[in-house]
Amino acid sequence: MTQDFKIPSEEELKARLSAEEYEVLRNKGTEIPYTGDFLTKTPDGTFICKVCGQPLFESTAKYESLTGWPSFDQAIPGAVTEKADDSHGMQRTEIVCSRCGSHLGHVFEDGPRTSTGKRYCVNSVCLNLDESKKPAPRAPAQADTEETAAEPTTP
């Protein structure tokens, strides 16, 4: 990824994106749950930002969270910026693409893996899939249990 990437103007983006995509990515909207293309599909590849193409999530991090949005237990390091979001009367953490600032969704601390603890709840419309970038296989979930066991615990 090059440093000289220029974020397209809002006019360009309006022309390029569908109305729903624009609303979610640039106005922090939320797609209707259970409607996203990537909700049930977990193809092998890398999910990239629909606006700038930066790789954000690997398909191996995707899991079924039963929330109605595609969910990931980790992001590609450095790809996602977290921001405090107290809109809608809730204390949440918004996630945006670290390169172009486009809204992606929110991150919560109730992820399934003890090693990351995160649930990245992402709008499908913010993502494209790059099937040419196959992620490396991840260590089995069992490795997490071993990691946890090594940490001090309070009975």
126 noted as active-site residue: no
Q: Which is nearer to Zn ion, 53 or 135 (CB)?
A: 53
Q: Which is nearer to Zn ion, 102 or 123 (CB)?
A: 102
Instruction: Catalog residues that contact Zn ion under the rule CB under 5 A.
Output: 49, 51-52, 54, 97, 99-100, 102
Name beta bridge partners: 46: 58, 130
CB of 46 to Zn ion, least distance (A): 13
CB of 49 to Zn ion, least distance (A): 3
Tokens read off for 80: 């996602």
CB 126 within 8 A of CB 100: no
Given 52, 97, 121, 126, the catalytic residue: 121
The SS3 assignment for 69 reads coil
- Residue written as token pair 């993502």: 127
CB of 100 to Zn ion, least distance (A): 3
Q: On the CB side of 143, how many CA atoms lie within 13 Å of its CA? A: 5
For the annotated catalytic residues, the residue numbers are 121
